[in-house]
Structure 1
Amino acid sequence: MSDASTGTIRTNVPARLDRLPWSRWHWMIVIGLGTVWILDGLEVTIVGNLSGAISKPGSGLSISQSQITGLAAALYVAGACVGALFFGWLTDRLGRKKLFLITLAVYLAATALTALAFNSWWFFLFRFLTGMGIGGEYAAINSAIDELIPARHRGRIDLIINGTFWAGAAVGALLTVPLLNGLPVNVGWRVAFGLGVVLGLVILLVRRHVPESPRWLFIHGRGDEAEQLVTGVEREVERETGKDLAEADQTITIRQRKSIGFLTIAHTLFARYPRRAILGFSLFIGQAFLYNAITFGFAQILETFFKVPSGKTGYYFAVIALGNLAGPLLLGKLFDTVGRRIMIAGTYILSGLLLLGTALLFNAGVLNGTTMTACWCVVLFFASCGASAAYLTVSEIFPMETRALAIAFFYALGTAAGGITGPLIFSKLVSTGKVGDTVLAFVVGALVMIAGGIVAAFLGINAERKSLEDIATPLSAEDAGDDVPRQRTGSSTDLPSGAAPA
């Protein structure tokens, strides 16, 4: 696919978006787009906590618990990787809004079919397709959020939105309790998936009102639409606050293009920003291994080693889900104040060390179901911040034209390594019923997470409170001939462009 130029414009749209005060319009963005992680949390938790029930005789499926937590989980993640790459490419080409509607529709259809599955292989197929929808959501949603949220709030909002995965996880965990205990074994798990469809339909109704990214519009030859959209938002904010907005005097020159060639994108990610590419891969694979070491075998560990009934594991999972949600809520602001590098490295390394400590206590036999859950809760309080920051990082450190595909690529590559191999390895280790094997799963997840934190300490980017265009110069701006694209209107003095390509 070749690049197609359509003209050159100078615009102050990015500066106008970044200087907006927080408003009801931003809340609409957060609610309309951020709720996707609630769906993902609901999905993963339902499958994990229902694995025991689905594997029982009479459930309607001839499937074992280890197949659900291993093969089905790996297929879900594999689908997410494929969906992220395919829909991520389309997101950069066709726009954010089209794709965050399409990917949600894919999720809804696949989840509904999962609830109707009457054969184990159909169940596996629909889990793969559900993962495709969720993976596509990650690329479309994260790119849109970061392009619409002001720079001074971007880190905190991105972390909190990603952290809402655990709000869905808590809801899913609590829902499985009455569904397992109050409905027939062949009905409860189907109703659980059906509830995911209902939630998805509600989100679809809200999401219709979320606009296209103005940054995507002006780069792709639709500058007038970007101007009209931002002007409308400014008027809405002025009416809400009762104050006139200050002038935004930073501009950027853009050579508009209908599309960006795939080779151009690939060259940008790996030839121009190789250190950032290593950073993105390390963060994603680290969090994928740590989370898979704990969450995919969570119910199985409680049932096998602590004799917790399958119908009660949802209560335990709700506790660690709340710990995960609390991390971004309480620490998210620090990623915009203390800084990205120190907070990302710190949360990765600390969560890994805490998981190693949990492994030692588990191996010593001093834990029970409650204290084990408490340990996991503390580990994931910090890990949740780090994992959310991985999505933030790859979304903001690469040029605008590559953003969605960059998210998709690093999510797919890191998750393929940690999210496909992780469930397969960890489910085998846990299913042996041997304490030493489960300890090994924890140690592997912890060490890979720590390694990701060490990489972040050396290669992290101080992107806090900076405009996206200052963190990574848009490719279209470079093609327009601007060595330093962000300029003051009426001034010959160039502004510093932020972090240099690494």
Structure 2
Amino acid sequence: MLKGLGTVWILDGLEVTIVGSIASRLTEPGSGAGLTESGVGMAAACYVAGACLGALLFGQLTDRYGRKKLFLVTLAVYVAATVATAFTFAPWFFYLARFVTGAGIGGEYAAINSAVDELIPARVRGRVDLVVNGTYWGGSAAGSAAALFFLDTAIFPPGVGWRLAFGLGALLGVLIFVVRRHVPESPRWLFIHGREPDASHIVGSIEDEVRRETGAELAEPESEIRVRQRRATPFREIARTAFRDYPRRTILGLALFVGQAFLYNGITFNVGTLLSTYYGTSSGFVPVLVAIYAVGNMLGPLLLGPLFDTVGRRTMITVSYLGSALLSVPLIWVFVSGTGGVWGFLALLVATFFLASAGASSAYLTVSEIFPMETRALAIAFFYVVGTGAGGIVGPLLFGSLVESADRGMAAIGFAVGAGVMALGGLAELAFGVDAERKSLEDVAKPLSAS
């Protein structure tokens, strides 16, 4: 089940990192793409804008028609658009293909994160959610390795290799589609939408599987909740829930998403041009450094994830956000001064994002937990869209223009702004955080249909 659900992040990591790793190649004569350095930032912004639109559109459809239907539809959109990207013949077509690819990935966020949290036991929900979201960096490392192979001009011509890299992403999407067809629908969604027999059948199947694997009998539920089954939840009720009933949680979700979106989208989309412009790294060697960066990011959620269930959400989210902001200070100094060269810069970049990656993953965990079940997918979509719109679109455009200036002092401004918005996210968690560890989703946020 987790293999089928967690793959959205692998795809996103693959997509973002392939573009970041091959950015230098796309700007070279003979690539066939015709992009400039600022054009790479524009492509990143188009991808994120598409993800925002897709998250809103498919998020609402996910709450209305179910998790499973939509995470199959959004994957199909991703595959089709990624194939189109491989056939780019002009910058405008590349931007358009990236926009539609982002729409598919954005829709995946809403459908997948809501399904994961509704299917995972409360005692391990935090670590599982962080690990699933952390697989983004597994895809990122794979994207870097793929780019290293496909950018080798001894094997592929400059205008062919990067196209094959996108083809690899589409092939992976098709394989994931086959696996995902066997993932069950969320029993919570089925029950609230009047499909109690289907929900009971799925829960019974899961319980039987657990008994077979563990040999133990499952304890009876400690409490029950009565709900009024409904077919759909009006959008006005969803908006009222967020802004009238849970205003502090709404502020928290926005702060967490804006912080991580600005920092991550700004740096990751432009890391290739950053390394080549300021450290003279060749386009063929950039993927090696990006792979190291990706592994450091992946280790953050993997190693820190269990602490989110034991130490607690509030403490760990605060530490990850404020800690990454503080580590940005020596990172900026090393970058501006040139101390330690590319390896010194990379070491501090990895250390900073080891914490930041756990924080970024916890943003999705937070908004998925703290709002009622009927609004879960759209809540994820809403906070992703607003946070990413404010940080994820501005970030790549700002970083792209600052990197293109070839002035270290100017480029450092982007790092400083990213550290500032991450710090605000940490302060918001300290003030408004919700202690959701080891609690059922219904205890954290009572369903709207509860009577």
Q: TM-score range by the shorter chain?
A: over 0.9
Aligned residue in 1 for 2:144: 173
For 1:291 and 1:247, how far apart are their aligned partners in 2? 43
Aligned residue in 2 for 1:426: 399
1:382 aligns with 2:363: no
Are the equivalent residues in 2 in contact too, given 1:77–1:419 (CA < 8 A)? yes
Q: Please state how far the C-alpha of 1:229 moved relative to its aligned partner.
A: 1.1
Alignment of 1:460-475 (within 5 A): 460-475=433-448
1:193 aligns with 2:166: yes
Q: TM-score, normalised by structure 2?
A: 0.98
Are the equivalent residues in 1 in contact too, given 2:144–2:290 (CA < 8 A)? yes
For 1:457 and 1:246, how far apart are their aligned partners in 2? 35
Residues 302-351 of structure 1: per-residue CA shift (max 9 Å, x gap)? 11111110110000010110000001111100000000001001100000
Q: Please state how far the C-alpha of 1:361 moved relative to its aligned partner.
A: 2.0
Alignment of 1:68-107 (within 5 A): 68=40, 70-107=41-78
Aligned residue in 1 for 2:120: 149
Aligned residue in 2 for 1:489: none
Aligned residue in 2 for 1:235: 208
For 1:279 and 1:337, how far apart are their aligned partners in 2? 21
| Aligned equivalent of 1:43, options 8, 15, 34 | 15
Q: Higher mean Cα deviation, 348-357 or 465-474? A: 348-357
For 1:219 and 1:50, how far apart are their aligned partners in 2? 46
Amino acid aligned to 1:276: R
Residues 416-450 of structure 1: per-residue CA shift (max 9 Å, x gap)? 01010111111101110001011111101001101
Alignment of 1:442-457 (within 5 A): 442-457=415-430
Amino acid aligned to 2:364: Y
Are the equivalent residues in 2 in contact too, given 1:32–1:210 (CA < 8 A)? yes
Residues 227-254 of structure 1: per-residue CA shift (max 9 Å, x gap)? 1111121112212222222222421101
1:408 aligns with 2:381: yes
For 1:180 and 1:455, how far apart are their aligned partners in 2? 43
What SS does the aligned partner of 1:258 have?
coil
Are the equivalent residues in 2 in contact too, given 1:41–1:172 (CA < 8 A)? yes
Alignment of 1:15-164 (within 5 A): 29-68=1-40, 70-164=41-135
Amino acid aligned to 2:421: V
Residues 29-69 of structure 1: per-residue CA shift (max 9 Å, x gap)? 2111001101000000111111111222222222213201x
Amino acid aligned to 1:46: I
Are the equivalent residues in 2 in contact too, given 1:395–1:407 (CA < 8 A)? yes
For 2:334 and 2:28, how far apart are their aligned partners in 1? 32
1:391 aligns with 2:391: no
Are the equivalent residues in 2 in contact too, given 1:350–1:382 (CA < 8 A)? yes
Aligned residue in 2 for 1:15: none
Are the equivalent residues in 1 in contact too, given 2:37–2:400 (CA < 8 A)? no
For 1:303 and 1:58, how far apart are their aligned partners in 2? 18
For 1:468 and 1:288, how far apart are their aligned partners in 2? 25
Residues 120-140 of structure 1: per-residue CA shift (max 9 Å, x gap)? 211110100000000000000
Identical residues among aligned pairs (%): 58
Are the equivalent residues in 2 in contact too, given 1:348–1:450 (CA < 8 A)? yes
For 1:444 and 1:382, how far apart are their aligned partners in 2? 17
Q: TM-score, normalised by structure 1?
A: 0.88
Amino acid aligned to 1:96: R
Aligned residue in 2 for 1:287: 260
What SS does the aligned partner of 1:260 have?
coil
For 1:233 and 1:166, how far apart are their aligned partners in 2? 29
| Aligned equivalent of 1:271, options 244, 258, 274 | 244
Are the equivalent residues in 2 in contact too, given 1:74–1:423 (CA < 8 A)? yes
Whose helix fraction is larger, Structure 1's or Structure 2's?
2
Amino acid aligned to 1:100: F
Structure 1 unaligned residues grouped into runs of 5+: 1-28, 481-502
Aligned residue in 1 for 2:274: 301
Q: Higher mean Cα deviation, 384-393 or 114-123? A: 114-123
For 1:249 and 1:230, how far apart are their aligned partners in 2? 16
Q: Please state how far the C-alpha of 1:465 moved relative to its aligned partner.
A: 0.4
For 2:24 and 2:361, how far apart are their aligned partners in 1? 29
For 1:232 and 1:299, how far apart are their aligned partners in 2? 47
Aligned residue in 2 for 1:212: 185
Q: Please state how far the C-alpha of 1:263 moved relative to its aligned partner.
A: 0.4
For 1:96 and 1:451, how far apart are their aligned partners in 2? 32
| Aligned equivalent of 1:341, options 311, 314, 339 | 314
For 1:293 and 1:314, how far apart are their aligned partners in 2? 18
For 2:409 and 2:340, how far apart are their aligned partners in 1? 14
Aligned residue in 1 for 2:176: 203
For 1:415 and 1:392, how far apart are their aligned partners in 2? 16
Are the equivalent residues in 2 in contact too, given 1:292–1:426 (CA < 8 A)? no
| Aligned equivalent of 1:253, options 194, 212, 226 | 226
Amino acid aligned to 2:21: N
For 1:412 and 1:422, how far apart are their aligned partners in 2? 14
For 1:449 and 1:456, how far apart are their aligned partners in 2? 11
For 2:446 and 2:292, how far apart are their aligned partners in 1? 42
Amino acid aligned to 1:33: L
- Return the index of the structure with the highest Cα Rg: 1
For 1:244 and 1:473, how far apart are their aligned partners in 2? 28
Are the equivalent residues in 1 in contact too, given 2:267–2:396 (CA < 8 A)? no
For 2:221 and 2:320, how far apart are their aligned partners in 1? 35
| Aligned equivalent of 1:312, options 263, 285, 304 | 285
Aligned residue in 2 for 1:491: none
Runs of 4+ in 1 over 4 A off after TM superposition: none
Residues 210-236 of structure 1: per-residue CA shift (max 9 Å, x gap)? 000000000000011111111121112
Q: Please state how far the C-alpha of 1:178 moved relative to its aligned partner.
A: 1.8
What SS does the aligned partner of 1:185 have?
coil
Are the equivalent residues in 1 in contact too, given 2:126–2:365 (CA < 8 A)? yes
